[in-house]
Amino acid sequence: MRVSVGDILTYSQCESRTYDALENLCREVYTPISFDRLIMHKLEETFTTATVCCWLFQNMTQLTGEQLHRSLDRNDCYLGCMDVDFSRSRHLQFFRNSLIENYRLNGKICSIFYDMGLNEDPDISIKDRFEQYGFSVEFEDQGIRRTIFDNYDSLPHFKRVESFKSLCSRLPSLNEDDASALAHSLEELHPKLFDAFAAAARTLDRSETEEDYAQAALSGRRLLEKVADALFPPSVSDWNGRKVGASQYKNRLWAYVEKALVGSSEPTERLKYFGKEVDRLIELFNAGLHAAPTRDKVELAFRDLILWLSNVIDLNPAMARDPYAPYSDEVDAFWISEVSRIKGET
């Protein structure tokens, strides 16, 4: 889970400076989707009189949310909890884009975020506090995420994320928690992958004929190529005797798994398992292009791709994350424009 903390800025971001407008805005903001444990009579008392402090946990299961609610319910200052959906404009505005991401919790490991050049000397007392409760604590560079170069903070982007989660939760043997967990991992791996996943979801949703399912299978193969680009970018140099250029996406997926397994137990056997699964997935999607595809076959292929990707990311989550690469195009464009501007002035 990524954890954000801060004030809900309804007062300062209310367009009309009246109590009625502020109250209406608060009711829009505090609108759950399917998990509603708000203590409304207490929350309503704050609408025009107090500022609400919020802790946002991205990728918390409903079971954990229920347990947390029961644990906090006796506290006088506690106002309840609810689920949020960043594809809703008010939720995106107040819960995602206005709060500050501080931590990542993964089991009993806590990563405390810092921004290069801003807070490279973090507050050690926070580390001590987490360790007091049994966490192993590390400090992690937040990179370019959530800076002016991060263009993955818009409503259209999160609508694509929801399309992906909707596709996942409808596939055989997957549920909403599975979809949320993988969406969380993909956002850290490379947010642009949601463009390809959302396109695949739309194609599959509209499919009715064999030709439609063949197009959906093509989307699956393109997804594997995009995943390879994110995990192991093309290189002109060989990797352990394999070509890993732009067209050798299968070799690059094998190469990533090999790197991720360094230092693990039984790396050779696990590499064979994950590598053979890559080969099988590619065959599945290629068969969908040339054989007689059906909805069941294509959905099972997507299901297996999603499960494989989730397991591969879990091999080495730290290696799968790159806080700079997903935003390199925006940084390059900025410097090109700045160089052009300086040359124009001189």
Residue 318 placed within a domain: yes
Residue 307 placed within a domain: yes
Q: Does residue 204 sit in the same domain as residue 80?
A: no
Q: Does residue 72 sit in the same domain as residue 209?
A: no
Backbone phi and psi for residue 111, each to the nearest 5 degrees, phi listed first: -100, 125
Q: Does residue 90 sit in the same domain as residue 195?
A: no
* Pairwise CA distance, residues 197 & 215, whole Å: 14
Give the CB-side neighbour count of residue 339, counting CA atoms within 13 A: 6
Predicted TM-score (pTM) of this structure: 0.83
Residue 113 placed within a domain: no
Q: Does residue 94 sit in the same domain as residue 165?
A: no
Instruction: Please report which confidence band the pLDDT of residue 267 belongs to, taking 50, 70 and 90 as the band edges.
Output: confident
Q: Does residue 197 sit in the same domain as residue 315?
A: yes
Q: What is the pLDDT of residues 166-181, one digit of tens each?
A: 888 888 888 888 888 8
Rg (CA), the chain: 23
pLDDT above 80: residue 121 = no
Residue found by looking up tokens 């463009």 in the block: 195
pLDDT above 80: residue 131 = yes
Domain hosting 16: range is 2-106
Q: Which amino acid is at 189?
A: L
pLDDT, position 34 = 92
Residue 296 placed within a domain: yes
pLDDT, position 124 = 86
Sign, CA dihedral 336-338-341-346, equals: negative
Last residue of a domain, one of 36, 71, 106: 106
Q: Does residue 164 sit in the same domain as residue 278?
A: yes
Q: What is the pLDDT of residues 7-43, one digit of tens each?
A: 999 999 998 889 999 999 999 999 999 999 999 999 9
Residue 117 placed within a domain: no
Q: Does residue 171 sit in the same domain as residue 271?
A: yes
Q: Does residue 94 sit in the same domain as residue 172?
A: no
pLDDT, position 128 = 94
Q: Does residue 201 sit in the same domain as residue 70?
A: no
Mean pLDDT, residues 107-133 taken together: 84
Q: Does residue 179 sit in the same domain as residue 52?
A: no
Q: Does residue 49 sit in the same domain as residue 171?
A: no
Instruction: Please report which confidence band the pLDDT of residue 209 belongs to, taking 50, 70 and 90 as the band edges.
Output: confident
Residue 142 placed within a domain: no
Contact 104, 3 (CB under 8 A): yes
59 torsion bin: left (phi>0), alpha (psi -120 to 50), beta (else): left
Last residue of a domain, one of 106, 134, 163: 106
* Pairwise CA distance, residues 257 & 270, whole Å: 9
Q: Does residue 94 sit in the same domain as residue 202?
A: no
Q: What is the pLDDT of residues 301-322, one digit of tens each?
A: 888 988 898 888 888 888 888 8
Give how many domains the chain has, as a whole number.
2
Mean pLDDT, residues 252-268 taken together: 87
Residue 280 placed within a domain: yes
Residue 339 placed within a domain: no
